[in-house]
Amino acid sequence: MAGADIRQVVEEAPAKINLSLRVMGRRTDGYHELQSLVVFAHCGDRVMAEPADELTLVMRGPFAAALAGDPDNLVLHAARLLRERTGVKAGARLALEKNLPVASGIGGGSADAAATLRALVRLWGTDPGAAALREMALSLGADVPVCLDARPAMMSGIGEKIVRLATLPRFHLVLVNPGIALSTAEVFRGLSAPLLEGMPVAPTVPTFATLDELAAWLVGAANDLEAPARRLAPEVGTVLAALEASGECRLARMSGSGTTCFGVYAREMAARAAAATIAQAHPDWWTVACGVSDCG
């Protein structure tokens, strides 16, 4: 087999941040039509794969315990799906380093599944083709396709329509999670989105020459899930207030279905200072300052 001489493959699974998230309405099949500008942070989980006869998974890292009750998670689902669709007979010894909070609105599980697909394509030396890989990703979850290629993108539909952005102006993020998990389904139920009468027009893909232009656009492109998430977890408001009060924060917003929030900063030093201040005031929160892929 082409990949038989590979001893270990490592793939990063970066956090997916919804800079904006508009819910256009509810479809007749129960899914919601979305429009979202997403970026990928320089922090995340990590998937490692080694040759083996069977498919196995071990989990480690600061948030591994949160997945202990679900040993048959998306990583194994992705591995089994790829093996089934490609006819590969080999197994793999998989390890998931879980550095991101679980059920926190930053696509950790989706990123893990995408990283698993990428890792095993390399380990097994198989090539299902880009279209087949995207189809497998979508069958694993609506957010998995955009995580296959962790670059800025405008997502629409249920997440399957993806247009990559050539570049974004450079900026830095502070990510903060208060340690509360939210069910995506429960947050959407709290939104009570109206039934769509027709399919929405495809979003215009924006271009931004400066951070000022990006920040101005984001002001008019909110996260529609923030209000129902705050009703379920009022701590989201506390996190947003802490970010807004930090020095040089250009915008504070919740990502995805929550509860992780982010602040946008022009300078890396300002982001690091804000993260340090918030972490000192709230040592029980998960707080990290990081850059953004393909910006600048």
Residues pairing with 57 in the sheet: 94
Band the pLDDT of 1: cuts 50, 70, 90: very low
Q: Which of 45, 98, 112, 143 is catalytic?
A: 143
Q: What is the pLDDT of residue 2?
A: 45
Which distant-in-sequence residues (6+ apart) come within 8 Å of 37 by Cβ? 18, 19, 20, 152, 153, 154, 155, 165, 206, 218, 221
Q: Which residue has the tokens 């599980």?
A: 109
Token pair listed for 100 = 């991101």
Query: pLDDT tens, 151-192?
Result: 999 999 988 999 999 889 999 999 999 999 999 999 999 998
CATH class of 9-163: alpha beta
- Please report, for the chain, the start and end positions of each structural domain, with discontinuous segments joined by +: 9-163, 167-290
Which distant-in-sequence residues (6+ apart) come within 8 Å of 131 by Cβ? none
Which distant-in-sequence residues (6+ apart) come within 8 Å of 10 by Cβ? 46, 47, 48, 119
Q: Which CATH architecture has domain 167-290?
A: 2-Layer Sandwich (3.30)
| Three-class SS of the chain | CCCCCCCCEEEEEEEEEECCEEEEEECCCCCEEEEEEEEEEEEEEEEEEEEECCEEEEEECCCHHHHCCCCCCHHHHHHHHHHHHHCCCCEEEEEEECCCCCCCCCCHHHHHHHHHHHHHHHHHCCCCCHHHHHHHHHHHCCCHHHHHCCCCEEEEECCCEEEECCCECCCEEEEEECCCCCCHHHHHHHHCCCECCCCCCCCCCCCCCCHHHHHHHHHCCCECCHHHHHHHCCHHHHHHHHHHHCCCCCEEEECCCCCCEEEEECCHHHHHHHHHHHHHHCCCCEEEEECECCEC
C-beta neighbour count of 28 within 10 angstroms: 7
Query: Is 143 designated active site?
Result: yes
Query: pLDDT tens, 192-234?
Result: 888 887 777 778 888 999 999 999 999 999 999 999 999 999 9
Q: How far is CA 180 from CA 3, 21, 169, 264, 275, in A?
A: 41, 20, 31, 22, 19
CA 284, chain centre distance (Å): 22
Query: pLDDT tens, 83-108?
Result: 999 999 999 999 999 999 999 999 99
CA distance 100 to 38: 17
Q: Which of 16, 45, 112, 224 is catalytic?
A: 16
Contact 236, 261 (CB under 8 A): yes
Band the pLDDT of 71: cuts 50, 70, 90: low
- The arithmetic mean of pLDDT across residues 264-293, rounded, is 98
